[in-house]
Amino acid sequence: MVEMSKEKIGRIIARQGIIIAFAMFIIGFTLANGKFLSIENVLSVMRSSAILGVMALGVTFVVVSGNLDLSVGSMMSFSTIVVLDLHDKVGPALAIPLMFAMTIALGALIGLLVGYLKLNSLIVTLGMLSAIHGLTLTYSGGKNMDIADKEGTWFNIFGQGTAMGIPVPIVIFLLVATFLGLLLAKTPFGRKVYAVGGNGTAATFSGIPRARNVFYCYVISAACVAIAGLIQASRSMGSQNTVGQGLELEVLAAVILGGASLLGGSGTIFKTLIGVLILGFIQNGLLLVGLQFYVQFVVTWVIIIFAVWLDIAAKRGKFWSTIA
């Protein structure tokens, strides 16, 4: 009997482990620094998480469909540079749709390669990471992009504006999250994405085309990257070519923290939202208690492994792996 209840408690802890750990972090940080849960701090954390967050929402679709996307970081650099460059050439009203079209075209290309040609998504997106980086450098000629007239444009509202006291990036982030959350959880398309990721062969035999749905997932991911690039460009009004470098890993970290399995078929938008907030708040909390900026990387490492480990342990009913 004692064994049983112990196992049960273990399972509950494992299943809700990430929320419990998050709560403990928040309590700890609040005790250490009273400012941690103030409205200004919470808004500032959410504002700085918005760019990473929007990208993570898109990547959730890709991961649920059973694939990976390592190209979002360099794709974000691309869309940021493109929109900044076009802003001065054709004006913001035309620059934004053009940038969206170009970014989504890149996503469609990946979708074509992974979906229809059935290539390994890890290698394809790794190749695209490099190729898009090259494309960005070629486009900009290696120079930083800046908007010439920073005062006489409405372009800065996406990154710097506020709506009813709430920074616009947060509003965009939450709107995208609501829309994609409903799309993934409440529509036939969302169910197809789960089916394709859970068991591609079975899905195909049930009349759900794997190729087309994977293709859509990459298009959604690219659209999210375009939104993130827009926020980034509008926030800084100028950018380096490497602004998104390395973001793909933080994005994946957030998605994995949210509990999506890299094997596909599981994960939700809401959980990814939690994953993004955990990363953001831990980063902020560690800085507030006076630790070095880089400690967050080590903490993220430990948290990721524990989160996935507990999740797996709960599923197999054993703490340690059964590998001999």
Q: Which of residues 238-267 bind another protein (CB under 8 A)?
A: 246, 249-250, 252-253, 256, 262
254-to-6, 49, 274, 277 alpha-carbon distances in Å: 30, 11, 8, 8
Q: How far is the CB of 56 from another protein (least distance, A)?
A: 14
Q: How far is the CB of 98 from another protein (least distance, A)?
A: 21
Q: Is the dihedral of CA 29, 32, 38, 43 positive or negative?
A: negative
209-to-65, 97, 201, 287 alpha-carbon distances in Å: 12, 30, 9, 47
Stretch that binds another protein, among 36-44, 217-225, 226-234, 301-309 (CB under 8 A): 301-309
Q: How far is the CB of 309 from another protein (least distance, A)?
A: 4
Structure tokens at 258: 């949210």
142 phi-psi bin (left φ>0, alpha ψ -120 to 50, beta other): left
118 phi-psi bin (left φ>0, alpha ψ -120 to 50, beta other): left
CB-based contact 49:200 (threshold 8 Å) = no
Q: Which is nearer to another protein, 59 or 170 (CB)?
A: 59
Q: Which is nearer to another protein, 66 or 190 (CB)?
A: 66
Q: Quick one: how far is CA 159 from the chain centroid?
A: 18
Q: Which is nearer to another protein, 34 or 246 (CB)?
A: 246
Q: What single string gives the DSSP state of each residue in 110-126? A: HHIIIIIS---HHHHHH
Q: How far is the CB of 155 from another protein (least distance, A)?
A: 26
Length reported for the chain: 324
Q: Which of residues 41-60 bind another protein (CB under 8 A)?
A: none
The DSSP symbol for 319 reads S
Q: Which of 183, 254, 187 is nearest to 219 (CA)?
A: 183
Of the candidate residues 12, 157, 166, 298, the single one contacting another protein (CB under 8 A): 298
Q: How far is the CB of 36 from another protein (least distance, A)?
A: 21
Q: Does 143 bind another protein (CB under 8 A)?
A: no
Q: Is the dihedral of CA 303, 170, 71, 271 positive or negative?
A: positive
Q: Does 308 bind another protein (CB under 8 A)?
A: yes
> What one-letter code names the amino acid at 50?
A
Q: Does 290 bind another protein (CB under 8 A)?
A: no
Site size for another protein (CB under 8 A): 51
Q: How far is the CB of 268 from another protein (least distance, A)?
A: 18
Q: Does 296 bind another protein (CB under 8 A)?
A: yes
Q: Which is nearer to another protein, 124 or 230 (CB)?
A: 124
Of the candidate residues 171, 211, 289, 304, the single one contacting another protein (CB under 8 A): 304
Q: How far is the CB of 7 from another protein (least distance, A)?
A: 18
Q: Which of residues 56-115 bind another protein (CB under 8 A)?
A: 113
314 phi-psi bin (left φ>0, alpha ψ -120 to 50, beta other): alpha
Q: How far is the CB of 116 from another protein (least distance, A)?
A: 11
Of the candidate residues 51, 59, 83, 135, the single one contacting another protein (CB under 8 A): 135
Enumerate binding residues for another protein (CB under 8 A): 113, 117-120, 122-124, 126-138, 142, 246, 249-250, 252-253, 256, 262, 292-298, 300-302, 304-305, 308-309, 312-313, 316, 320-324
